[in-house]
Amino acid sequence: MDPTLKAKTISTLKAELQDLSPRLRTVAKYIVDHNADFGLDPIRETARKSGVSTYTLVRMAQRLGFNSFDALRDPFRHALVSTSQMNDVPDWIEGMRKESPTGRAQADAAANALGVVQRSLEGQSVDQMQRVVDMLLSARNVYLTAVRSSYGLAYYFHYVGRMALPSLQLIPRHMNSAIDELNEADENDVLIAITFMPYSRETVEACKFAQKRGVKLIILSDSDVISSEFTPEENLIASAVSTHHFGCYSGAMSVLETLLAVLFQAGGGDAKRRIKAYEDLRNGQNAYWSIKKKH
């Protein structure tokens, strides 16, 4: 089997995404975003997970030149290096699972979170992380935007990251929109956008606007297929698979923590001095609670 067939199929799906019917587009996005699960699951399970019929999956295989669903799935199965589950489940999780219905739910969530972190971190290459850091450090302004559930990730990254990257700005501020804040941005600036399925309209519009201004884009998301109307310079992909209705952001946070660590390493002495200045400021303002000693 051609070892490049999986990559070729994914490239074809991305290129043809906007020309597909809504149902085939759903299949294409599922394959691109969940290619490990796609390589493992039988057709009925893939249909259930992607929300389409088995007939639609067969149609997709035929459109791509395969004579059956299994033929389409085979390159993904052969290329599979990780699954949606952890390879070795710790004993403490198995013990928790046996305790009660609550224990089973807790064990499933714990195993999922560990797996999500592992998959998200193993997908980050050193070369890409270096490119991202170089882009951030060379920018005049680094804008950071996210809304709703992704906002917590952005807020934390800004709170810590500005000590390594003084040009970092969390937008929108006050009652503005992100586009208001990007009105004077240009090719000297970078926008980091964080968004996960279902993708925020405000974030997508900000990315489109920024790229038209020449701003370089870095996206943290669960997919590199978000919109055909902009093309990020860098995509940082984090798994957000969850055992409940909403996404699990353990993987996204682990990617941001990695980026922070690399930024602080690159910042050297200047970053250390800024950290100390912030700590001195907070201590001087009694920002932290301490237990008073009794005399």
Q: Residue 2 has what pLDDT? A: 61
Do 182 and 209 form a contact (C-beta atoms < 8 A)? Answer: yes
Query: Which amino acid, 70?
Result: D
CB atoms near residue 198 (< 10 Å): 8
Q: How confident is the model at residue 295 (pLDDT cuts 50, 70, 90)?
A: low
Mean pLDDT of 98-116: 89
242's CB contacts (< 8 A; 6+ apart) are 112, 248
Do 7 and 76 form a contact (C-beta atoms < 8 A)? Answer: no
Do 205 and 91 form a contact (C-beta atoms < 8 A)? Answer: no
**Partner residues linked to 144 by β-bridges:** 170, 192
Instruction: Please state the three-class secondary structure of 142-206 as a single string.
Output: EEEECCHHHHHHHHHHHHHHCCCCCCEEEECCCCCCHHHHCCCCCCCCEEEEECCCCCCHHHHHH
For residue range 136-174, list pLDDT tens digits in order: 999 999 999 999 999 999 999 999 999 999 999 999 987
Report the predicted TM-score, pTM, of the whole model to 2 decimal places.
0.76
Nearest Cα neighbor of 154 from 202, 189, 113, 186 is 202
Q: Residue 294 has what pLDDT? A: 67
- CATH 3.40.50.10490 intervals, the chain: 126-284
Q: Which CATH class is domain 126-284?
A: alpha beta
More confident residue, 36 or 188: 188
- CATH 1.10.10.10 intervals, the chain: 5-79
Please check whether the domain covering 5-79 is classified as CATH 1.10.760.10: no
